[in-house]
């Protein structure tokens, strides 16, 4: 169990150290470990700042208050846009994707920016960009691509 948490923290520290690095590769375990920690932090921020722990959700709960009180989560998401994008580019490259798939990864970045700037508008564009983003995201579950081994096998 200690090794698991050590792996999670190590992956998350690497996530922030390489926040602006598009070069290199990110392994599948590092990608998903950092992704898991980011989701845990997002859930904690949402629950803590919306008051869902001490204010039960009922029929008369004003959802506008809940949405308005989640500004720390909003800030956290804004801070994570670039590191998440660069990590996904490195992961897609590690999986051996072609160059055009890396271009599609930019759809995820555009989608994130649109969700931040225009949260209530352009649903069709967000849906389209989210669909396009599935192609590079599928590479995040693929095993690492070893170019040397694959070239030797082909010759």
Task: Kindly state whether residue 39 falls inside one of the protein's structural domains.
Answer: yes
Task: Provide the residue range defining the domain that includes 23.
Answer: 6-146
Domain count across the chain: 1
Q: What is the DSSP letter of 60?
A: T
Look at residue 152 and tell me if it is in a domain: no
Structural domain includes residue 110 = yes
Query: From CA 138, how far away is CA 65, in angstroms rounded?
Result: 36
pLDDT at 18: 95
pLDDT value of position 62:
53
pLDDT in tens, the chain (155 residues): 777 778 888 899 999 999 999 899 999 999 999 999 998 998 888 777 766 655 555 555 555 555 555 678 778 888 988 898 899 889 988 888 887 787 777 777 777 777 777 766 777 777 777 777 777 778 888 888 876 544 344 43
pTM of the model: 0.73
What is the Cα–Cα distance from 142 to 52, expressed in whole angstroms? 37
Task: Name residues whose C-beta falls within 8 Å of residue 66's C-beta, 6 or more positions apart in sequence.
Answer: 50, 51, 52
In a domain, 14, yes or no: yes
H runs (alpha helix) in 95-144: 99-117, 123-138
Predicted local distance difference test score (pLDDT) of residue 87: 92
Query: Are the C-beta atoms of 52 and 66 separated by less than 8 Å?
Result: yes
155 inside domain: no
């Amino acid at each position: 169990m200690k090794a698991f948490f050590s792996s999670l923290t190590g992956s998350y520290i690497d996530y922030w150290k390489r926040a602006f690095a598009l070069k290199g590769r990110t392994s599948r375990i590092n990608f998903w470990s950092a992704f898991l920690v980011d989701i845990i932090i997002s859930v904690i921020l949402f629950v803590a700042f919306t008051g869902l722990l001490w204010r039960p959700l009922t029929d008369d709960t004003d959802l506008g208050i809940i949405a308005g009180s989640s500004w720390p989560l909003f800030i956290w998401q804004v801070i994570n846009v670039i590191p998440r994008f660069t990590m996904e580019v490195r992961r897609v490259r590690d999986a051996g994707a072609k160059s055009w798939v890396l271009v599609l990864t930019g759809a995820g970045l555009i989608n994130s920016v649109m969700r931040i700037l225009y949260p209530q508008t352009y649903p069709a564009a967000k849906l389209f960009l989210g669909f396009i983003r599935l192609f590079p995201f599928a590479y995040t579950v693929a095993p690492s691509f070893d170019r040397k081994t694959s070239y030797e096998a082909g010759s």
